[in-house]
Amino acid sequence: MNAEMPVNADRLWRSLMDMGQVGALPHGGCCRTALSAEDKAGRDLFVRWCREAGCEVEFDVVGNIFARRPGRDPARAAVATGSHLDTQPHGGKFDGIYGVLAGLEVVRALNDARIRTEAPIDVVVWTNEEGVRFGPPLAGSSAFAGVVDVEQVHAGMTLDGTTVRDDLEATGYLGREQPGERRFDCFVEAHIEQGPILEAERKTIGVVTLVQGLRWLRVTVTGMDGHAGTTPMDRRRDALLAAAEMVLAINRIAREADEWARLTNGKFEIEPNSGATIPGRAVFICDLRHPEAATLDALDRRMQEAMRGIAQAAGVDIEIERLMNKPPVQFEPKVVETIRQSARQLGYASIDMLSGAGHDAMNVARVAPTGMIFVPCKDGLSHNEAESAEPEHLAAGAQTLLQTLVARAGRAT
């Protein structure tokens, strides 16, 4: 533990608990969907804390918040960190919030130690990471990275019938700064792991090297509706039966591939969905993930071949559409190495790992050198009110973040 610029574990924990009171739910979680009244209250609290810590706070046109701790050299690009404050409807107190408040704790700890950096440090809140009240998810970081147009985000309708622009205006977070105006030296996002690996391996810090790729296929199988009592078994064109065979076959392919492949058929619809009618139509989603683009391609191809073969043998028609294709994102090796060294110097047990979930950092990686720091969370649970983490692990992640940001920003005094 570096005694020179220590983060304050109690203060970080108190801030997390205080933020957890905003939009609090009965079972310990939070509901602060993006740009709702609760999200506004959470944002206002964060902005107040940042100003009290001496930061200059600005918003951009999609409501991303940038709290800047000035550096000695204002001409230098900011060393940036942050995450999101919005939650799922039954969200926890840590997913996203930890990354934002770990950034704030870095600022407070540097203030305590009277340390000035050469480059400024920006703590960022990205708008609408979760995509609950309106789409797309990761909206703020997508706009920042130029993946979506500002107009597209503004015109989006919310569940409450307002536009996103209306909400930005109503909450007071419609800024003038355009995406791309602000340059980052780098961006480092701290986040709870949302999975079980660090806890199982008894490690404190996960050095994230990449975010795995994700692909969605929608498979439509068309057979023929028929009478359950009068149609002989050998004269049926049962879409569900063929689809069921497909699900088994592609799961076998995923299991036999390697330990990294992930396939989920989480959504399934059949028509007419009636007890006495042979299903004439089945539609299902394949959610396929893998860290390597080439393997993702190969698995996609093999699965499609297998499903087409089954359709032909069963005498049904098949249509396969690709709904989403997000390639794996490799984080910048120098940033990753700085995180790894920081954890090592501080004496924390760490491992390299990949992220199974998407994060704002994967968008920012398109426009700035980027990395991520994971800390363990209880039972790997997230998107759940019971989401929890140990104060000492959260502090270790914030301390690693501080070392990393200072290493990038350079010390002036």
User: Which residues here bind Zn ion, judged by CB under 5 A?
Assistant: 95-96
Q: For the chain, what's the residue count?
A: 413
| Shortest separation between residue 130's beta carbon and Zn ion, angstroms | 7
Residue 149: strand pairing partners: none
When the beta carbons of 20 and 96 are compared against Zn ion, the nearer one is: 96
| Shortest separation between residue 352's beta carbon and Zn ion, angstroms | 20
Question: What DSSP letter does each residue of 347-363 carry, written as one string?
Answer: T--EEEEEESS--HHHH
When the beta carbons of 191 and 237 are compared against Zn ion, the nearer one is: 191
Q: What is the dihedral of CA 180, 61, 360, 362, to 10 degrees?
A: -30
> Taking CB positions, which residue lies at the least distance from Zn ion?
96
The residue type found at 226 is G
| Shortest separation between residue 343's beta carbon and Zn ion, angstroms | 21
| Shortest separation between residue 358's beta carbon and Zn ion, angstroms | 9
Beta carbons within 8 Å of 375's beta carbon, 6+ residues apart: 98, 190, 191, 192, 193, 198, 204, 205, 206, 389, 393, 394, 396, 397
CA 2 to chain centre: 30
Residue 78 has which token pair? 């900011």
When the beta carbons of 95 and 387 are compared against Zn ion, the nearer one is: 95
When the beta carbons of 38 and 95 are compared against Zn ion, the nearer one is: 95
| Shortest separation between residue 129's beta carbon and Zn ion, angstroms | 6
| Shortest separation between residue 382's beta carbon and Zn ion, angstroms | 8
CA distance 194 to 91: 12
When the beta carbons of 83 and 117 are compared against Zn ion, the nearer one is: 83
CA distance 239 to 278: 8
Q: 255: burial class by Cβ within 10 Å (0-12, 13-18, 19+)?
A: exposed
| Shortest separation between residue 98's beta carbon and Zn ion, angstroms | 9
When the beta carbons of 96 and 195 are compared against Zn ion, the nearer one is: 96
Q: 371: burial class by Cβ within 10 Å (0-12, 13-18, 19+)?
A: buried
| Shortest separation between residue 38's beta carbon and Zn ion, angstroms | 17
When the beta carbons of 96 and 376 are compared against Zn ion, the nearer one is: 96
| Shortest separation between residue 191's beta carbon and Zn ion, angstroms | 6
| Shortest separation between residue 128's beta carbon and Zn ion, angstroms | 11
Q: Which helix (H) or strand (E) holds 406?
A: helix 391-409
Residue 37 has which token pair? 């009244």
Residue 79: strand pairing partners: 121, 186
When the beta carbons of 192 and 205 are compared against Zn ion, the nearer one is: 192
CA 122 to chain centre: 20
Would you put residue 386 in left (φ > 0), alpha (ψ -120 to 50) or beta? Answer: alpha
Which residue carries 């009290």 as its tokens?
52
When the beta carbons of 67 and 97 are compared against Zn ion, the nearer one is: 97
| Shortest separation between residue 146's beta carbon and Zn ion, angstroms | 21
Which residue carries 């989920």 as its tokens?
264
Contact between 302 and 294 (Cβ < 8 Å): no
Q: Which helix (H) or strand (E) holds 37?
A: helix 37-52
When the beta carbons of 189 and 238 are compared against Zn ion, the nearer one is: 189
Beta carbons within 8 Å of 347's beta carbon, 6+ residues apart: 1
When the beta carbons of 310 and 329 are compared against Zn ion, the nearer one is: 329
